[in-house]
Amino acid sequence: MCAKHIRKGDIEMFLNKLFKKIPFKTKYFKTIQMQILIYIAILIIGIILVLDVIFYYMSVQVITKDAQEYASQITSQIGRNIEYYVNYMKDISNILNNDAKLTNSLNKEKITNESSVLVKSIAQTRGDIVSIVVLNKEKIILADKDKYKIKSSMDVQNLDWYKNAIKAKGNAVFSSSHVQNFIEGQYPWVVSLSNANYDINDKFIGVTLIDINYKVFTDLCNKVQIGEKGYVFIIDEKGNMVYHPNQQLIYSNIKEENITRILGAKDGSYNDLQENENKLITVKTLPAIGWKVVGVTYMNDILIQKEDLMRVIGISAFICLIIAIIISIKVSSNISNPIYKLERIMKRVETGELDFDIQIEGNNEVVQLAQTFSIMVRRIKNLLREVEEDQSELRKSELKTLYAQINPHFLYNALDTIIWAAEQEENEKVVKMTSALSKYFRLSLSKGKEVITISQEIQHIKNYLIIQKIRYDSKLDYEINIEEDIIMYKTMKMLLQPLVENAIYHGIKNLPMGGKLWITAKRAENNIHLIVKDNGVGMDEETLRNILIKKEDNPLTSGGVAIINVNQRIQLYFGNEYGLKFQSELLKGTIVTVVIPIVE
């Protein structure tokens, strides 16, 4: 190979190795000015974007902190209001419980006029109280309205507020919000305050029940607003809902709150992703009654609109880009002319012209670049000579491989079988075997082509199997299945014959009753699988592990076109992710899969 036959791709390869950051073969951005413009613009825009991200992040942190403080103040204020109200209602309950005449009425189950007046006056002066009822285990002893009567089907002792009052041993107990329905004709939505009554001997004599209008808690919580969509709700110590602005949706399971996490959370704020929205949850515990006031803040309400922020970023980036273009044009003009001259010299080298001196005037960097390029050109000359020598050795190696493909033992055995058939006057076998042998070697040569179609490779192995079938007769059977849509894809020649040969000589030949081969070609996603399967003697695990390790005493990796050479040819041509895969068990046969890419 001489200098005038230098390929364009060889020169480009060396240039790209030397100048990794200058794409010499770029359709639109090959000028130095454009490269400098792009890099400076990217740098400036990158800095602006980083600063904008930092600013955005810091702004979010500040706004979030303010939102946390605001939500904490709101929940604390609501908590104080509720505690004040709850304590006031407890005082009313204690007044009733400590009234001696009321206690006496419960003991004797007989209402005194003074007790009745006390209960009714409290209920009438408090619009937030739905009802006041004093009852024992079986009936209402005293109420703010005389018409109250327990439903005949209702056992008040099984109601939560009744059982909780007994468990509390005289302390006031608040329920979650519920419909109070034990009195005939009454179905108010209330929060119940219940308190067990005991006589002077600490004997349980009844329960005082004060039903508080649910609207009280609605008014307390609706007076505040957290953003456009934020809200406040209240749960008791068991997670039951005392108040929620969307109470019906909660009970209908249309809306959910993460009650489990709220119950386990300490007072303060945390972020939570609910209903595909990021929310700030603020929790305040009311120690006096065990309730938790929960504030829900939607982060989208408190953050700057993303569209506005992106618009600011876009305008800033555009201005910076204009500045970058002006700066880059000015800078690049000072250094581009010498580099353009060097580029023209490189194009002369690209066409194959190597015998000339390189002279560049300019700043030190460009001169040093020209000197380096001159050294590279001299190296190219030396490499070309080495390539020419390597090409000669490669052709010799290919020729050796071709000779190895023509297995003399196979040819000898085939001819011996033809002679035997001729002596037996089996002319049909002679003609069939001679024709197959002729086609076999014609396809083996393939006019020097290394790549053939899958159809040709299958035809080649069919000719081989015709010869082997005549030779081994009933000891060999085979079956070939090929998907029609892959037959025109390309493959390397002589991939299947070594695998089939090994299957016959090392797998089937030694079986007393012979064996069978299955050859399959199919598409597997983006690959082609050529599969050779036999039901021969198989291999043990050690042999299977070492199948592709070259050893002198391994009959599968030496002689003829060895299995390891087939694998190496595939990987050299297509890449290391392709090659041969083996599956085998002793006395059960072997499966060899050739994995190659789809090549049209």
Half-sphere exposure of 130 (CA within 13 A, CB side): 21
What token pair was written down for 383?
Answer: 């490499």
Q: CB under 8 Å, gap of 24 or more: what pairs does 453-456 form? A: 453/487, 453/488, 453/489, 453/490, 453/491, 454/482, 454/486, 454/487, 454/488, 454/489, 454/490, 454/491, 454/521, 454/528, 454/530, 455/487, 455/488, 456/493
What token pair was written down for 524?
Answer: 């597997």
Burial environment of residue 354 by CB neighbours within 10 A (0 to 12, 13 to 18, 19 or more): middle
- Beta pairing class for 515-524 and 579-585: unpaired
Tens-digit pLDDT profile for residues 379-417: 877 787 777 766 655 554 554 554 455 566 677 777 877
- The domains of the chain are located at 98-217, 406-597
Cα–Cα nearest to 180, from 193, 171, 168: 193
Tens-digit pLDDT profile for residues 508-557: 988 888 899 999 999 998 899 999 999 999 998 888 888 887 665 555 54
Place of tokens 């002198």: 552
How many whole angstroms separate alpha carbon 304 and alpha carbon 382? 66
Cβ partners under 8 Å of residue 113, min gap 6? none
Predicted local confidence at residue 108, as pLDDT:
64
Find the mean pLDDT for residues 177-200. Answer: 86
Burial environment of residue 539 by CB neighbours within 10 A (0 to 12, 13 to 18, 19 or more): buried
* CATH, domain range 406-597: 3.30.565.10
Assigned CATH class of 98-217 = alpha beta
Find the mean pLDDT for residues 439-449. Answer: 76
**Three-state DSSP string of 362-381:** CCHHHHHHHHHHHHHHHHHH
222: left (phi over 0), alpha (psi -120 to 50) or beta: alpha
Tens-digit pLDDT profile for residues 63-117: 778 878 888 888 888 888 888 888 888 888 888 777 766 666 666 666 667 777 7
Q: Quick check: 158 and 147 in contact, CB under 8 A?
A: no
What is the pTM (predicted TM-score) of this model? 0.45
Q: Quick check: 495 and 568 in contact, CB under 8 A?
A: no
Q: Quick check: 519 and 496 in contact, CB under 8 A?
A: yes
Half-sphere exposure of 100 (CA within 13 A, CB side): 1
Number of helices and strands in the chain (H, E): 17, 17
Predicted local confidence at residue 202, as pLDDT:
77
